[in-house]
Amino acid sequence: MSWKKDEDTDELGAVMNLDHSAVLQEARVFNQTPIRPRQSRVLLAKILFLIYRGDNMSTSVATDLFFSITKLFQSKDMSLRQMVYLAIKELSTISEDVIMVTSSLMKDMQSKSEMTYRANAIRALCKIVDPSMLPGIERFIKAAIVEKSPSIASAALVSGLHLFGEAKDVVRRWGNEANEALNNKGLGQGPSFFGGAAGQSQVVSTSNIVQYHAIGLLYAIRQHDRMAVLKLVQTFSGQNKSSSWLGGSNATLRSSMAQVMLVRYAVRVMEGDPSLQGQLHALLEEWIRHRSDMVSLEAARAMCQLRDVTGKQLTSAVSALQVFLSSPRPTVRFAAIRTLSTLARTHAEAVQPCNVDMEGLITDANRSVATLAITTLLKTGNEASVDRLMKQMQGFMTEISDEFKTIVAEAVRSLCRKFPAKHSVFLTFLAGVLRDEGGFEFKRAAIEAIMDLAKHVPECKEAALAHLCEFIEDCEFSKLSVRVLHFLGEEGPHTARPTMYIRHIYNRVVLENAIVRAAAVSALAKFGASPGADAALQRSVRVLLRRCLDDREDEVRDRAAWALRITDDSGARDKYVRDDSTFALAVLERKLVEYCASSTASATRFNFEAVPRISRAQEEETRSRARMETMDAVLTGSAVSAPAQHRLGARDTSEPGTPAAGGAAAAPMDVFEQQAQYTSELNAIPELAAFGAQPLVSSQKPAELTEAETEYVVRCIKHVYEGHIVFQFDITNTISEQVMEQVEVSMEPEEDVSDALQPVVVVPIPELRCDEPGTAYVAYERTDPETFPTATFACTMRFIVKECDPATGEPEEGDDGFEDEYSLEAADLGAGDFMQATYIPDSHTLWETLGQAGEAVGTFALANFDSIEECVERVCELLGMCPLEGALKPTSKAVHQAIFTGKWMGATRTVARTRMTYQKGSGVTMELAVRSEDQGVSELVVSAIA
């Protein structure tokens, strides 16, 4: 297609201002005889632009236009034919009866046709063909895959990838042809992809793009067959042909893009297998030294993202990335610094050798590279370099996008706790950037960083609050104003001069919209209800609240009336304002939706007791984890797992009296969402739904009954109802050559518990295919509601095995299969399985209230533990309770105290306190004291350790 350049015409403006109706009127040119190729090409380009611009086109109009375009097949003009193919592909999704053009496309796919026709016709045909018609053209596609012309082979392979989602069974039969295309070493000498008359020589492609498309299609076909993918990786993995596990293959990948995909497939298939960890590291080490920058960068990035990777293993990856930092190409520098920036979040010491090279990138012409360089240096540098780096960063904040401004704000936020002595530098920088222009996410990140400073660095609290007050005076985002007002209400009453902040808050009542005014009223209420508020301050707050009673918005008036009520009632203040817990909002929302949808909602009250409560610190932890994942997605281009500080055994930074980070309370919202999923699955089975609306207690951590690398992977989750116990077995078959049917788990107690438990329901899995998890259930009835049995069950998985085709997963015809069984690890039912790990606000007051009447105490010598940290984690698991602040991370190696809370059977509040001492050679000595609303429950909890 050609355009005539006219210097007096704004070509871009002419295209952008195309009129939809005028273009459709011009479509009459398609019906003219003879066909005018140039006018038709220009008009097709306009139509395509309208589609890409998002203009709506009715089905009837699109259909008429589609069949008008098909008349252009009469023209032999190659450029016009290419535009016809593009138009057919785009209109096929909104037109009717598009299958009528199949014959024309099939004619162009014939081997005697022009090479340009064949490649484009394959792409267009596979776009419009119905899956049921695919077997009719299968032989043409197979022939095209092994065609020597790269354009034709790539067109067929890409079409196969697009068709795989709708016709898996047919596309799986193309595996041999895709493998041949992947291994083909020659390039065809057919006509060029972009046309040329018959007989003209082809410009040979050297991109090896066919290998890239072929390996993608092969992986799509074999992705559920782990051994097949592993063989694919082994066949094409690197230069070391003498390695025994590689099998001495001579196959190579000449395409760097295909090699990149091979790196990703290798990590995906080998990372989860402990027996292949050494081989994976060796492969990545080899790929890091690859001659292609693309492959080397991908391998280094994969190495940096491996789970449990050590500093020693990162050495080669960091060294390669250090070299790339001095590359003349901006894209390579950006990829390297982005990978190092992500790595610095968890392995800052491993990135420190690159500090000198990153210093040189601070003045990089590409501001994205410079921003990442500075934020990475902030993570890896020392306190002495903070002033210089912050000064340099201030110089170009106005030149970078909001996305990178957000990264900078998050980096500064992470430094607030690392270098508290530099709080004045950080606060000055953040206050400055708040005055600059920026979007919502950037401003939110900046104020969150200031809030962190106010909470964790007491010396700058008043200055930070003053900057926040200045920000809300001219804030364009209501959500941010509400967030700041809430924070002022939480922190302002505890400062030396709370009246200074009341003035700024009341200004919002006078000047802002209803949402902000309501938040300001709630903040004022917290000042009046504060324990440190004197009589004069309370009187002033009441005067301001009475003025709000005349507000034109009912929400503001209601909040003001509520605030006036609680400021005069000490009991209400403690319950509604000073309480350090809150509802799990996701669960509250789901319960309210279920309540509103219920036909009996009008006759019953909403049960708030059914909604779990979490601490403010837990809520903040969840929000922080979501923020970290968002930043990881920005830095890596895809969401990754939560940072290391959120995993078990991470540093505990929660506030006193709140659940500990890590362990059972590390991700409260995730736990609640998992419980809801369990409830939904159980209620979908009629035999189990009869036990109750939802389990009283469900396991927070599944028990693994097999090793991860065995042929069958089984894990057990226990659900406790009022009168029943349900064992849920999640089973995965990893053998691609077999299908399992009627899969069930047989459970035999090792001790006689027939007087307390009776089996009532066994729910098998009807069919279990490879890598498609299924769930089986075994239910027991508790014959005595007052008895809480503990037992160990020997578990055996029984099933029928049938041979199947690994490519399709379908069992062979006429195969009746044979019965088989597989022994599993024993499943334990302990006292902790009846305990719901629940955060209970003000556990100290509850402990004193329960008194010694409901107390049970036990002393234990635990000689098999080598540290207090190991012991407390095991105790938390056995008790099944929620660990509070400091419980899972002892500050001393010799002595430790821990507090746990929970509800027995989801109802009886229980608090446990432990005192531990450790002596080398004799292990841990522990005293466990438990208080509960039921003396029997306290004794049962103590018995969980015995």
Distances (CA, A) of 173 to 177, 209, 217: 9, 22, 11
Q: Tell me the C-alpha distance between 647 and 49, whole Å.
A: 50
Query: At 176, which amino acid appears?
Result: N
Query: Angle 478-491/499-511 helices, nearest 10 degrees?
Result: 150
CB-based burial, 817-846: b 16+ in 10 Å, e otherwise: beeeebebebbbbbbbbbbbbbbbbebeeb
The whole-angstrom separation of Cα 828 and Cα 356 is: 55
d(CA 375, CA 397): 12
Q: Is residue 863 within 8 Å of residue 918, measured between CB atoms?
A: no
Long-range contacts of 868-873 (CB under 8 A, 24+ apart): 868/892, 868/893, 868/894, 868/895, 868/896, 868/916, 868/918, 868/924, 869/649, 871/916, 871/918, 871/924, 871/926, 872/896, 872/898, 872/914, 872/916, 873/648, 873/649, 873/663
Q: What is the pLDDT of residue 806?
A: 67
Please give the single-letter amino acid code of residue 589. Answer: E
- Per DSSP, 832 falls in state G
Q: Phi and psi of 918, rounded to 5°?
A: -125, 135
Round to whole Å and give the CA distance between 32 and 30.
Answer: 6
Chain-centroid distance of CA 210 in Å reads 32
Residue ranges of the chain with pLDDT lower than 70? 1-16, 111-115, 185-207, 238-251, 531-532, 570-580, 615-671, 693-694, 700, 806-809, 885-886, 946
Helix (H) or strand (E) holding 153: helix 150-163
Question: Of 806, 817, 803, which is closest to residue 736 (Cα–Cα)?
Answer: 806
Residue 927 in contact with residue 914, Cβ under 8 Å?
Answer: yes
The predicted pLDDT at position 94 comes to 82
Distance (Å, whole) CA 353 – CA 339? 15
Residue 692's nearest CA partner among 720, 655, 653, 663 is 720
Res 249: pLDDT: 46
Backbone angles phi, psi at 200, to 5 degrees: -75, 150
Which structure tokens are listed for 795?
């578990």
Task: Note the pLDDT of residue 175.
Answer: 84
- Give me the half-sphere count of Cα atoms (radius 13 Å) on the Cβ side of residue 727: 33
Residue 908 gets which letter from DSSP? E
Write down the pTM of the prediction. 0.64
What is the DSSP-derived secondary structure letter of residue 313?
Answer: T
User: Do residues 299 and 336 make contact, with C-beta atoms less than 8 angstroms apart?
Assistant: no
- Triad 596, 598, 604: Cα angle to 5°: 85
Q: Which tokens is 836 given?
A: 């719901």
Q: Which residue in this structure is represented by tokens 């899969």?
A: 743
Q: How many residues are there in the chain?
A: 946
The reported pLDDT for the residue numbered 336 is 92
Q: Which ranges of 880-925 does DSSP label H, i.e. alpha helix?
A: none
Q: Which two tokens stand for residue 493?
A: 């009453």
Q: Which two tokens stand for residue 41?
A: 């090409």
